[in-house]
């Protein structure tokens, strides 16, 4: 599992390299750098989702302001994900 500190460090590196890429004047090189950074960002987000947040990512689900904090579908999904992580009792 990737601890949060590793994820944050990678995010900082991606941001630094993005700033460097912004200074690139050659169009092809800029796109190549941007594509590599996009792939790294995708991997970082997936790592954050699966390895840092884990089953708790369900708490970040968007909700309709007119509904209760968690509607039935969201609650069902959250409970399922919590059980997959080994949590038995609501």
Whether 68 maps to a domain, the answer reads no
Do residues 47 and 7 touch, judged by C-beta distance below 8 A? yes
State the pLDDT at residue 68.
Answer: 63
Whether 84 maps to a domain, the answer reads no
Q: How far apart are CA 74 and CA 89, in angstroms?
A: 17
Say whether pTM exceeds 0.85: no
| Residue range 28-70, pLDDT digits in tens | 999 999 999 999 999 999 888 887 787 777 777 776 666 666 6
- Distance linking the first and last C-alpha atoms of the chain: 25
Tokens representing residue 62 in the block: 């968007």
What is the domain extent for residue 14?
1-60
11 confidence band (pLDDT: 50, 70, 90) = very high
Domain tally, the chain? 1
State the pLDDT at residue 1.
Answer: 45
Whether 3 maps to a domain, the answer reads yes
Whether 30 maps to a domain, the answer reads yes
Question: Which among 3, 6, 7, 5 is positioned nearest to 45, based on CA atoms?
Answer: 7
Whether 66 maps to a domain, the answer reads no
2-16: average pLDDT: 86
């Amino acid at each position: 599992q990737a601890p949060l500190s590793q994820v944050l460090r990678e995010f900082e590196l991606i941001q630094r390299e993005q700033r460097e890429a912004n200074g690139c004047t050659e169009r092809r090189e800029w796109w190549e750098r941007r594509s590599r950074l996009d792939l790294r960002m995708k991997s970082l987000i997936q790592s954050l989702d699966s390895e840092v947040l884990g089953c708790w990512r369900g708490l970040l689900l968007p909700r309709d302001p007119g509904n209760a904090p968690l509607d039935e579908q969201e609650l069902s999904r959250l409970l399922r994900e919590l059980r997959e992580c080994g949590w038995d009792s609501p």
